Structure 1
Amino acid sequence: MTIFKLKANCLAIATLLSTAATSHAAGFALLEQNASGAGVAYAGKAAIGDDASAAWFNPASMSRLSQRQVVLGGHYIDLNSEFKNEGTTTPAAVAGNPGRDVGDFGAEGYVPNFHLVLPFGESVNFGLSVATPFGLKTDFQPDWVGRFQGVTSDIKSLNINPSVSYKPNARWAFGAGLSAQKLDAKLTSASVVGAGAESLTTIAGDGWGYGFNLGVLAQVTSATRVGLAYRSAIEQDLKGNVTFSGPAATTQNSALVSKIRLPSSLSISSVTELNPTWQLLADASWTEWSTVQKLQFDRVNAGAGAAPIPVQDYEWKNSWRFALGGIYKYSDTINLKAGVAYDLTPVPDERRKVRLPDEDRLTLALGSQYTLNTRTTFDVAFQYVIPKKAKIDSTEGNPAMGQQSRVLGTAEGDAFIVSGQVAYKF
């Protein structure tokens, strides 16, 4: 099979298998790109380099692999969340129909991933990853009291990332890669049309963006190695449509365009061999979420009288994630894993929206790796994500047109993530 055929097949597999994923890391980022790292809450992710998923987390670390290897993995994410209404108000134009208080807005998601590493000689490795680095789904009932600020928010991504590593000596390794990333977005909410009538507004669009990633791996001592990985920001130019339900609202339909800059990130990780049976892993990761300042959709060739789509201010800030984990060699065939991580939210309290009521979160992880034979290993992992309660006080809409609403309340919940993968050397 040629690399070009393999790349096409990977794209087809990821497209068929991926569904909208509930966000796990801060913002709407997804760390679930392998199961071997999930068991330690992704501590040491840029330094461990123990399977082909290293091509994604730090291309330099795949230099540790001396045989061709493929990794196929998947993750099931179950978000359980509820909103507690504390005084939400609907637009004055529909004051007689406030809607119902709805508690549950959780969702389920599936995240697949694929990784390949091909060594060329002793110094150069080629890698290919197909991953889903961003994803989000929140799903309120269409008649809930806060429907004018959001009903469904569905973001999907697909990133194709070829990479290469170079290892000049036993101490140092370097890596680089390119990314082609597709983003799909669908946002729905209620809007006021006519004399107190409502319409469901649907904004849908997609686009491709391009970026790069870099990595360095250093064997600091005989027992400790450190990895540094950088992934660039990717600017997405989205094209799509805005549609309104109901015969009276269809004149507002039009094409639209939008621009969003997805954040860059920088991770520093370490792996230390404490003794023949214990490994200690650590990680600190920075994400440039300040690229998300507003959400703006511009109409294209709209009909006369079509109202502009309101701009939403987000004003996110840069954030950090810290993780610590351990791997215990229970036997020649079984490794046991555990980890803990803490994510700091990029969302200011005063800018928290119903589409993503993000807060700081704690992740607890357990996992295990089983070596079947010299070629095949299996990983399974479980993560429990515990966010802080998220206070929401968000006012949107034009009061002069009777369209202003205020969502006031608290979002709380948790998430369960079950991961599995197979790694095969060939």
Structure 2
Amino acid sequence: MKIRKLPLALLAASATFTAAHVNAAGFQLVEHSASGLGRSFAGEAAIADNAAVMARNPAAMSMFDTIAVSGALSYIAPDVYVRGNTGVSDIDQALTNDDVVPGAAVPAGYFIQPLSDKWAWGVGMFSNFGLSTEYPSDYAAGSLAGETKLITLNLNPNVSYRINEQFSIGAGVNAVYGTAKLLRNFGGDGSGPFPPSGTSAYLEGDGWGFGWNVGGMWEINQNHRFGISYRSKVDLDFKGEYHSDIAAGIPSSNPFPTGGQTIGGELTLNLPDIFEVSGYNRLNDAFAVHYSYVWTGWSTFQEIDATSEGIGSVLNKQEQFSDSYRVSFGGTWYLNPAWELRAGMAFDQSPSRTHKTISIPDNDRYNYGIGFTYHLSDKGNLDVGFTYIQGKEGAFEEELNESVSIPFISKGDAYIAAIQYNHSF
């Protein structure tokens, strides 16, 4: 099967609320560091206070004069619900799931080595996209619900070059590995519009994709600098399997019926490009402000179209995402040589503004972050960050078939904690 137009949502077509699993709209992950989490990732392409800056701007590696390493672990605890909105109590109760998204850990690691006073190189391992959602096998709208998992790992080697005291540039390549699973159930009790229990669609596979990233840094002086970066689209080419318990031979069925038989195929996931511009201004010895604007090219995601060789389309779903943006603002307090405190907030625009579905009932959200750095020694320090994500509640209708639409309400909050150790040599 082959999925076009950012078909990561194929995996979400089982009535999943991907956005609440993550710290950015759609199913984008921004949990690259604990230091960034504590400031709502404001100023990430310009601050360069540890090696994790590589995930946002390769040009910032030019600011390091010794080897630097960072390792981070974030834990996301979502609080997401999807509820029926028909006005009929029994139906709404059957359509309700108050625990859509399980908790998840997101690791990241970075290494930077200066080669001379001009050149530096480094490598990062992190994730820009991911999701995990679960509905009970007997969920009433079972043909829209089930289990969804997407895990991606970006191996990102980079190089930077310092042009002069003020300007640096950097570039890298992205080797992205992904695994994906989709299970959609019939669900229900066999009455009304919901078919009896069974698997209406099952997809699973893994694969690789490749892309590139570039960045620039303008250091006006040691207290004022600006960063800009761009990360290209990545097409993940999956090899996978598909099957359905729908009896073979049923005409015009979506998903395609195989009667339980497994068929092979391929699936392509088109991840969007990301553009970021950031600033950092240290106003005095005690306080600095920082800010970011991030644009994500979600308009590549218009539909899900899974195909299998010799068969054609086995699953099709409209999503109609739009490009979205994220703005953030934060501050850092340098209390003394041992302690730094930080805070920030962000607004994250939903890409599903004109066409919401139960597969990705994404809404705008606000992020509030706090955190600190404790310097253990001249060489090592510890970062801790916390963020609360407050999502807006949204109402929409999901089309079960050509004649039946089901109204829903969804809302997703999340709590994120992260810890990180940084060391220089």
Contact 1:88 1:146 in 2 (8 A): no
Residues 44 and 384 (structure 1 numbering): CA distance in 2 closer, same or farther, change over 3 Å? Answer: same
Distance in 1, Cα, partners of 2:406 & 2:267: 25
Contact 1:58 1:214 in 2 (8 A): yes
Contact 2:139 2:145 in 1 (8 A): no
Distance in 2, Cα, partners of 1:353 & 1:180: 31
Residues 65 and 154 (structure 1 numbering): CA distance in 2 closer, same or farther, change over 3 Å? Answer: same
Contact 2:155 2:176 in 1 (8 A): yes
Answering whether residue 299 of structure 2 is matched by residue 299 of structure 1, we say: no
Q: Give the alignment partner of residue 341 of structure 2, picking from 330, 336, 342.
A: 336
One-letter identity of the residue aligned with 2:419 = G
Residues 247 and 57 (structure 1 numbering): CA distance in 2 closer, same or farther, change over 3 Å? Answer: same
State the match for 1:30 in structure 2: 29
Q: Secondary structure at the match of 1:315?
A: coil
How far does the alpha carbon of each residue in 1:387-410 deviate from its partner, in whole angstroms, 9 at most, with x for none? Answer: 11122311044x5xxxx6533110
Deviation (angstroms), 1:329: 0.6
State the match for 1:254 in structure 2: 263
Q: Secondary structure at the match of 1:236?
A: strand
Deviation (angstroms), 1:78: 0.6
Contact 1:265 1:288 in 2 (8 A): yes
State the match for 1:231 in structure 2: 231
How far does the alpha carbon of each residue in 1:208-232 deviate from its partner, in whole angstroms, 9 at most, with x for none? Answer: 1100000000013553100001000
Residues 101 and 326 (structure 1 numbering): CA distance in 2 closer, same or farther, change over 3 Å? Answer: closer
Answering whether residue 136 of structure 2 is matched by residue 144 of structure 1, we say: no
State the match for 2:382 in structure 1: 378
One-letter identity of the residue aligned with 2:62 = S
Q: Secondary structure at the match of 2:314?
A: coil
Deviation (angstroms), 1:257: 2.2
State the match for 1:216 in structure 2: 216
Distance in 2, Cα, partners of 1:147 & 1:251: 17
5 Å-filtered alignment, 1:6-405, equals 22-87=21-86, 101-191=96-186, 197-200=196-199, 201-221=201-221, 223-244=223-244, 250-300=259-309, 308-349=313-354, 351-397=355-401, 399=402
Q: Secondary structure at the match of 1:114?
A: strand
Deviation (angstroms), 1:122: 1.1
Residues 405 and 115 (structure 1 numbering): CA distance in 2 closer, same or farther, change over 3 Å? Answer: farther
One-letter identity of the residue aligned with 1:265 = I
How many pairs are equivalent?
389
Question: Which structure's relative contact order is higher, taking Cα pairs within 8 Å and 6+ residues apart?
Answer: 2
How far does the alpha carbon of each residue in 1:38-60 deviate from its partner, in whole angstroms, 9 at most, with x for none? Answer: 11000000001111112221000
Distance in 1, Cα, partners of 2:275 & 2:85: 39
Contact 1:73 1:419 in 2 (8 A): yes
Residues 120 and 296 (structure 1 numbering): CA distance in 2 closer, same or farther, change over 3 Å? Answer: same
Contact 2:278 2:291 in 1 (8 A): yes
One-letter identity of the residue aligned with 1:337 = R
Deviation (angstroms), 1:177: 0.3
Q: Percent identity?
A: 28
Distance in 1, Cα, partners of 2:309 & 2:247: 21
One-letter identity of the residue aligned with 2:163 = P
Contact 1:63 1:167 in 2 (8 A): yes
Q: Secondary structure at the match of 1:170?
A: coil
Distance in 2, Cα, partners of 1:410 & 1:209: 35
Contact 2:172 2:212 in 1 (8 A): yes
Distance in 1, Cα, partners of 2:308 & 2:165: 56
Does 355-364 or 200-209 show the bigger shift? 200-209
Structure 2's unaligned 5+ residue stretches are 1-18, 249-257
One-letter identity of the residue aligned with 1:202 = Y
Residues 315 and 88 (structure 1 numbering): CA distance in 2 closer, same or farther, change over 3 Å? Answer: farther
Residues 100 and 414 (structure 1 numbering): CA distance in 2 closer, same or farther, change over 3 Å? Answer: closer
Residues 207 and 396 (structure 1 numbering): CA distance in 2 closer, same or farther, change over 3 Å? Answer: farther
Distance in 1, Cα, partners of 2:301 & 2:25: 13
Contact 2:186 2:195 in 1 (8 A): no
Residues 228 and 88 (structure 1 numbering): CA distance in 2 closer, same or farther, change over 3 Å? Answer: farther
Distance in 2, Cα, partners of 1:317 & 1:290: 4
How far does the alpha carbon of each residue in 1:226-261 deviate from its partner, in whole angstroms, 9 at most, with x for none? Answer: 000100011122221113359996444311322231
State the match for 2:14 in structure 1: none
Q: Secondary structure at the match of 1:148?
A: helix
Contact 2:243 2:260 in 1 (8 A): no
How far does the alpha carbon of each residue in 1:119-143 deviate from its partner, in whole angstroms, 9 at most, with x for none? Answer: 1111111110000110112211121
How far does the alpha carbon of each residue in 1:13-66 deviate from its partner, in whole angstroms, 9 at most, with x for none? Answer: xxxxxxx99222011110001111111000000001111112221000111111
Distance in 2, Cα, partners of 1:233 & 1:88: 42
Deviation (angstroms), 1:374: 1.1
Deviation (angstroms), 1:205: 2.0
Two-structure CA RMSD over aligned residues (Å) = 2.5
Contact 1:255 1:301 in 2 (8 A): no
State the match for 2:10 in structure 1: none
One-letter identity of the residue aligned with 1:190 = N
Distance in 2, Cα, partners of 1:308 & 1:234: 23
Distance in 1, Cα, partners of 2:124 & 2:132: 23
TM-score, structure 2 length as denominator?
A: 0.86
